[in-house]
Chain A
Amino acid sequence: MQAHYPEVADGASIEHVAAGDGMNRKVVQDRDKGRSNDQGKKPYEAPHLATISLRPEEAVLGHCKVLGTGGAGGSACGFTCPSAGS
């Protein structure tokens, strides 16, 4: 899936939300309030959201890491794992 990456300014806040598989996250942009061009600052841009997908199957170490190549358990781990992950 091609993600969309809008420009988000420094100082934007991050809000965690439960959505879908519960692992999605919204980045909330809220910048430059009260600034104006005549001060040489960047113009106001409306806040917008960016959704960043997590990969829980990778993040929680729920699989044998790298079968046959050592990995974290190594080929010497002694187990026959039903599935491999990263």
Chain B
Amino acid sequence: MNSNGVAADLTPGAGTILSPRVTPVCNSFSVGGIRVRLLGEYPADIALFPPATLFRSENSEFDVEVEVEWVSDIPSSMSRQMFDAGSTWRLYESELGYQFDFHSETLGPQPYRRLLVDRKFTQAKLYLSEDCFSRLPAIPEPLGYPLDELLIMHRLTQERAIELHGTGIVRANDVANLFVGHSGAGKSTTTRLWTSREEVEVLSDDRIIVRYDDGRDGPAGTTGMRMYGTPWHGEAMFASPNSAPLTRIFILEHGHGNVITRLSRSQAVGELFARAFVPFHRHEYVEAGLSFLEELVGTVPCYRYLFEPDERAVEKIQQFND
């Protein structure tokens, strides 16, 4: 794939991305305040596809560095398996830290990608299987889903931050509401209702990262909880690299009428945890997520919102005061 996101032809002799070699190249992106630098031998190694291209960063500093390398094939792992997510990825212990193997039924039983990363998620090596990728008509994004989201999700355990299943909507008056919900709870519907009624910025309609802003990303001197857009959008297809100070959180559920109920801190932690993306394979990561949620709900008011999917659901929030 070239820098415009056009997939390269891997057919032997067709002038593939594997030849001619070029000077090592790098690319950077930032999601949720996590700055990732990619290093590779070929432009396609470090390519970003839309909407990830929106998150490209020119910042020379980084939190995570990923070196991409092609290998002829990736053998099945003999290491101890720590977690099996189902059809897409498995986690193993490695000498360096962790080994993520990615599988696809389309590409056979061997991993088509392998990510080796240290336990602090600062240095990583990504191996791509020439054998597997050569079976595809076009090369997918090397760091494409779920690798990118897994990397960011794991790195967030080292920060005061968490990824939530929700839609983040910032109004013109700077009120930034986060609507959190399981699949089918109404996130995309809520997003469409808001965008049809007033000028808002939607940071994402499916995945939002909330983190404590130590002043790095907001205006000088401002600190507090901040929500960030991500590339991992939902049905409404909103993905923004922007962020905003978080005003309040609503737990979305379908109901009769539009009813807002303030949640206690313990209720809010439980409900948010059930809608969070946290690495479950290690207790310290779960504890880090819970600790941050406790901090979050102690700072930002959290409500349950039983709503009906029409304009009145938006009006209710517009007229709402804490």
Residues of A within 8 A of B (CB): 5, 7-14, 16, 23, 25, 27, 29, 50, 52-66, 69-74, 76-83, 85-86
Contact = CB atoms under 8 A, between A and B. Distances in A.
Contacts of B277: 59, 61
A27 B248 CA distance: 22
A12 B267 CA distance: 9
Nearest to A76: B49
B49 A74 contact: yes
A86 B144 contact: no
A55 B49 CA distance: 29
Contacts of B144: 72-74, 77
A76 B273 contact: no
Interface string B97-126: 000000011110000000000000000000
Interface in B188-241: 206-207, 231-235, 237
Contacts of B278: 59
Contacts of A64: 88, 145
A9 B270 CA distance: 13
A65 B146 contact: yes
A61 B270 contact: no
Given A61-B146, A62-B87, A82-B87, A14 B270 contact: yes
Contacts of B237: 69-70
Given A66-B234, A69-B237, A71-B232, A12 B182 contact: no
B150 interface: yes
Given A61-B85, A63-B87, A72 B232 contact: yes
Interface string B275-304: 011101000001000100000000000001
Given A60-B86, A74-B145, A86 B183 contact: yes
Interface stretch (B16-24, B32-40, B59-67, B133-141): B133-141
A79 B273 contact: no
A64 B149 CA distance: 12
A12 B50 CA distance: 44
Contacts of B280: 23, 56, 59-60
Interface size class of B (residues with CB under 8 A): 35 or more
B9 to A, nearest CB: 13
Contacts of B264: 7-10, 12
Contact of A73 (B5, B83, B85, B140): B140
Contact of A86 (B5, B89, B165): B165
Nearest to A59: B277
Interface in B119-165: 136-141, 144-146, 148-150, 153, 165
B267 A55 contact: no
B22 to A, nearest CB: 22
A27 to B, nearest CB: 5
B289 to A, nearest CB: 11
Nearest to A74: B49
Given A53-B274, A73-B140, A78-B136, 9 more contacts: A8-B266, A14-B290, A61-B150, A64-B88, A65-B146, A69-B235, A74-B141, A74-B144, A81-B104
B271 interface: yes
Given A12-B266, A72-B144, A63 B290 contact: no
Contacts of B85: 60-62
B175 interface: no
Contacts of A66: 233-235
A74 B138 CA distance: 13
Contacts of A71: 145, 232-233
Interface in B169-190: 182-183
